[in-house]
Structure 1
Amino acid sequence: MKRREFFRKGVISTIGLGALGSSFQAFGSVDFTRKGIAKNIIFLVSDGMSAGTLTMADILLKHKEGRSSEWIKLYEENTVRRALMETASANSFVTDSAAAGSAWGGGMRVRNGALNVGPNGEKPVPILQKFKAAGKAVGCVTSVQITHATPASFCVNNSSRNAQPIIAEDYIKLKFDCMLGGGLNYFHTDKRTDKKDLIAASKQAGIDFVQTKDELNSLSGTKPILGVFAEEGLPYAIDRENNTDLKAITPTLAEMTQTAIKHLSKNPQGFVMQVEGGKVDWAAHANDTAALLYDQVDFDQAIKVAMDFAQADGETLVIITTDHGNSNPGLFYGNQANRNFEKLYSTKASNEWVLNQITPEFTTNRLVEFVEAHQNYAMSGEDAEAILKGFTLGEDGLYNTNRLPVAIYASLQSPHTSVQWAGTNHSADHVELVMFGPGSEHLKGFVRNFELHNFLLQAAGMPQEYIV
């Protein structure tokens, strides 16, 4: 298939849904009612998770804690159906999170950077709006901004993923039942250029707006919840767990997932929610091995929460996947590979945290001691000097607003961890797709990302008018 035909097929297959109507079934002629429909759907996304990330997190848990990761255990116990998913966008073999999420959220491929706005201006109704209109409770949970690309892709239409201030306003109008993550800067009057106070606006709209874990846990659960626990993305899991103050106010992804399920499941007609481990992607962009693996473990605990609920409930479809690979890390062979990787078992901080502690007063010796204390390896004086000089150069990037020398630091770590990286950006890899519960029996072995939209609707037994 030629490149132009590839993208044309992806777009036409989805644009044509309106003309094809409810008879279109991406997964063939199947009866979704044969084994019952899904009352609830939990859609979990480890954003930017390459196969190496999944593998290394499992190795870490098996040899540090003596247990498999929850994700791999599902394979070991043959609990789930498993497939590969293609992740292209409307204009590239390599998607970004906005286009990838929009394939699921809107049922069509869009250009990178867009949220449910098609190549010709199409604006399919986002899937959580459809489920809310059908009477279900809906919501999103994420470790990054709640207004970020992946949660927004299930919720809104916007030509740019960067329009987070507008997306924040959209959320208040939509009044979804439970939205938890970061992104306070897009709600706070002091941080918005238009000076709108969306915290006050959300409360006026009848939404419980909370900013700490204690405030979240104290809610009665009778109103829609908007929980925003950081100015931008939440802290990396490894930094949260090793900082008493952060741990006291910042919920884990699993805790937010548990709270959301408890709140959403009060609806007798069921619920649909998305859970995103968004900082897995950020760590991959930064080639930050410790941050990557412990945020993947954080996501893994959310899988357990979802699966425990679904296995007890019997009416819940759980989907576990990623939107794309990122930087394709892996543990590579060498005489010291095991010993090097084991250093990560007692690492106490992300690269980002370490770099943010460095001040102009740091000497090379002080940096060597600081890194060994927090990341468990002995850096050379030459490497320390290179990092200190890196601060004068600065590095720009979507996830590097403080201009930290993240690339220099990461490149010097591989000999100490035996973890190597293919790059610093998304990949076109086919990715893991896992299902459990009602409807999972219809999962085929290979799926195009946009096909999941109608699959979700059909699995939930949605009335025909809600199928695009």
Structure 2
Amino acid sequence: MGFTLPSEKSITYYLNIYPMKRRDFFKNGLLTTVGLSVLGSRPILANSHKSEKAKNIIFLVSDGMSSGTLNMTDILMRQKLGRASNWISLYESGTAKRALMDTASANSYVTDSAAAGSAWGGGHRVNNGSLNIGPEGEVHKPIFQKFKDEGKAVGCITSVQITHATPASFCVNQSSRNAMPRIAEDYLKLKFDVMMGGGKEFFDPSKRTDGRDLFLEFEQNGFQVVKDKAEMLLVSGTKPVIAVFSEDGLPYAIDRENNLELKNTIPSLAEMTKKGIEILNKSQNGFVMQVEGGKVDWAAHGNDATALLYDQVDFDEAVGVAIDFALKDGNTLVIITTDHGNSNPGIFNPGPKNIKFESVFESKASNQWLLSQMKIDTTTSQAIDMINHYQNVTLDNEEANLLLKSFFLGENGLYDYDKLPMEVYGKILSRHNAVSWAHSNHSADFVELAAFGPGSETLPGFLKNHELHNFMLEAAGVNRNEFVAV
């Protein structure tokens, strides 16, 4: 049986959404519930600090963000939401110190997230795939262990698995980023203060090959275990918190915001950031927190423009939360960057009055979600109707046929949903939404880096990724010479 468009009343697993007006995205969601849009297009006239040293550091990384992603998201936010992105507003107002960063790893011009994060986390470049283990087996003490030794509270927040490469790079030593079950065990031993993201499969005894119930073990070791948004909002912060909201990564922001069940159970990156600050700020000695928009990278790999742009919006809302806190606090250094570019998307031939690109304004679903709804007997006309309904794009018959023929078949003759034709669909959509892609993988581009708060004035205009490690230690007044390899 082929796909039939559901009625609004009968939708159960399809997106619960209606056509949106141009400025309605997040209208009753993030912008009103968390009090974001703190910068908008309004200039901040002074970058004043209460002290020379940073008591707190909030390190925000939009994983896999090419410059085109930042650019296109700012255009979308100005035209759809009526305001500039928080990140670009920092540049417009001259508030943030701006730099470019070289992202290479020890063995490649093109880094992966493990090596990129380890450059920040361990202060040394390592080979791709490694977490704070050098090419000759050197063990580099991760920065969160250093800050914890100094008495600061520490925490990681991400939209992918909490055991994924970027959060892990600030926390652990592992020869392979793929050792996520062991990374979950490392977190239990380290007893950091806040860990939030996805990856239930690495804590759930029914999913782990060794059958260990890490959720129970965390509870027995004094943690508060959180598994949904409502529980997170009630956290008081009297115990360290491990919050794991989903298997794998969290849903894309566009899918979460347009599905009432997901929106009620899965927090946004900004909501997690707000709660994380609330908990960590109880520490008298200050805190250091990493916030990762990890699914920006996943969307770029999939050439998924809708997912990419709205997850970058989601990340930018978290930037707003961090800057709002830093402005009020006066003792917080905020660093905003990415670990590497990915796929280098950009707007080309947007059409008269930019109509092609602005079709993304009305999109209601990620490419990944949309393709996962198609069945082996979906017809050409059904595919066209479905795409038009959810993404405001009308494919012709030839494009729809090409898409349907691009699905992989599994051994049972059904579509293999682990091999969705993401790149094929991304190229087809490029003709309609004006977003073109150079590739589907990481790039060697120098990337954007912004800093605001105590210590930001010392940020050089260009630096290598591993130099950011000592920059953070020095900004917080931590003697980096005290730390040696274990």
- TM-score of the pair, normalised by structure 2: 0.87
Amino acid across the alignment from 1:441: E
- Look up the match of 2:141: 125
Q: Distance in 2 between matches of 1:229 and 1:371?
A: 29
- Look up the match of 2:217: 201
- Look up the match of 2:422: 406
Which of 115, 137, 142 is residue 99 of structure 1 equivalent to?
115
Q: Distance in 1 between matches of 2:342 and 2:479?
A: 37
CA offsets per residue over residues 411-439 of structure 1, 9 Å max, x none?
A: 11101001100000000000001000000
After superposing the two structures, state which structure 1 stretch, 336-345 or 82-91, moved more.
336-345
Q: Distance in 2 between matches of 1:166 and 1:285?
A: 26
Alpha-carbon distance, 1:401 to partner: 6.9
Alpha-carbon distance, 1:335 to partner: 3.8
The alignment status of 1:345 with 2:361, answered yes or no, reads yes
The alignment status of 1:431 with 2:443, answered yes or no, reads no
Q: Retained in 2: the 8 A contact 1:58–1:68?
A: yes
Q: Retained in 2: the 8 A contact 1:105–1:126?
A: yes
The alignment status of 1:149 with 2:190, answered yes or no, reads no
CA 1:401–1:317: 2 relative to 1, 3 Å? farther
Amino acid across the alignment from 2:450: V
Q: Distance in 2 between matches of 1:464 and 1:414?
A: 48
Q: Distance in 1 between matches of 2:134 and 2:398?
A: 51
Amino acid across the alignment from 1:83: A
Residues 248-397 of structure 1: pairs in structure 2 closer than 5 A? 248-333=264-349, 335-336=351-352, 338-392=354-408
Q: Distance in 2 between matches of 1:429 and 1:34?
A: 35
Q: Distance in 2 between matches of 1:427 and 1:129?
A: 30
Which of 234, 240, 256 is residue 256 of structure 2 equivalent to?
240
- Look up the match of 1:450: 466
Q: Secondary structure at the match of 1:305?
A: helix
The alignment status of 1:79 with 2:95, answered yes or no, reads yes
Alpha-carbon distance, 1:35 to partner: 5.6
Number of matched pairs: 431
After superposing the two structures, state which structure 1 stretch, 42-51 or 188-197, moved more.
188-197
CA 1:34–1:182: 2 relative to 1, 3 Å? closer
Q: Secondary structure at the match of 1:84?
A: strand
- Look up the match of 1:21: none
Residues 23-172 of structure 1: pairs in structure 2 closer than 5 A? 36-172=52-188
Q: Distance in 2 between matches of 1:401 and 1:416?
A: 24
Amino acid across the alignment from 2:387: V
Alpha-carbon distance, 1:334 to partner: 5.2
Q: Distance in 2 between matches of 1:312 and 1:467?
A: 32
Q: Retained in 2: the 8 A contact 1:331–1:418?
A: yes
CA offsets per residue over residues 87-109 of structure 1, 9 Å max, x none?
A: 00000000000000000000000
Amino acid across the alignment from 1:103: A
CA offsets per residue over residues 152-174 of structure 1, 9 Å max, x none?
A: 00000000000000000100111
CA offsets per residue over residues 67-98 of structure 1, 9 Å max, x none?
A: 10010011111111000000000000000000
Q: Retained in 2: the 8 A contact 1:457–1:467?
A: no
CA offsets per residue over residues 244-285 of structure 1, 9 Å max, x none?
A: 000000000000000000000000000001000000000000
Q: Secondary structure at the match of 1:409?
A: helix
Amino acid across the alignment from 1:352: Q
Q: Retained in 1: the 8 A contact 2:197–2:243?
A: yes
Q: CA RMSD in A?
A: 1.5
Structure 1 runs not aligned, ≥5 long: 1-32, 395-399
CA 1:332–1:206: 2 relative to 1, 3 Å? same
Q: Distance in 2 between matches of 1:437 and 1:334?
A: 38
- Look up the match of 2:29: none
- Look up the match of 2:195: 179
Q: Secondary structure at the match of 1:433?
A: strand
Alpha-carbon distance, 1:466 to partner: 3.7
Q: Retained in 2: the 8 A contact 1:35–1:439?
A: no
CA offsets per residue over residues 352-373 of structure 1, 9 Å max, x none?
A: 0001111223111111101000
Amino acid across the alignment from 1:276: E
Matched-pair identity in %:
61
- Look up the match of 1:27: none
Alpha-carbon distance, 1:34 to partner: 12
CA 1:165–1:461: 2 relative to 1, 3 Å? same
Q: Retained in 1: the 8 A contact 2:334–2:452?
A: yes
Q: Retained in 1: the 8 A contact 2:50–2:330?
A: no
Q: Secondary structure at the match of 2:356?
A: helix
Q: Retained in 1: the 8 A contact 2:158–2:269?
A: yes
Alpha-carbon distance, 1:381 to partner: 1.6
Q: Secondary structure at the match of 1:415?
A: helix
CA 1:191–1:45: 2 relative to 1, 3 Å? same
Q: Retained in 2: the 8 A contact 1:331–1:420?
A: yes
Q: Secondary structure at the match of 1:391?
A: coil
Q: Secondary structure at the match of 1:426?
A: coil
Amino acid across the alignment from 2:431: P
Q: Distance in 2 between matches of 1:40 and 1:34?
A: 12
Q: Retained in 1: the 8 A contact 2:160–2:248?
A: yes
Amino acid across the alignment from 1:416: H
Structure 2 runs not aligned, ≥5 long: 1-48, 411-415
- TM-score of the pair, normalised by structure 1: 0.90
CA offsets per residue over residues 111-148 of structure 1, 9 Å max, x none?
A: 00000000110111100011011100000000000000
Regions of 4+ moved over 4 Å: none
Q: Retained in 2: the 8 A contact 1:454–1:467?
A: no
- Look up the match of 1:8: none
Amino acid across the alignment from 1:159: S
Q: Distance in 1 between matches of 2:471 and 2:118?
A: 14
- Look up the match of 1:23: none
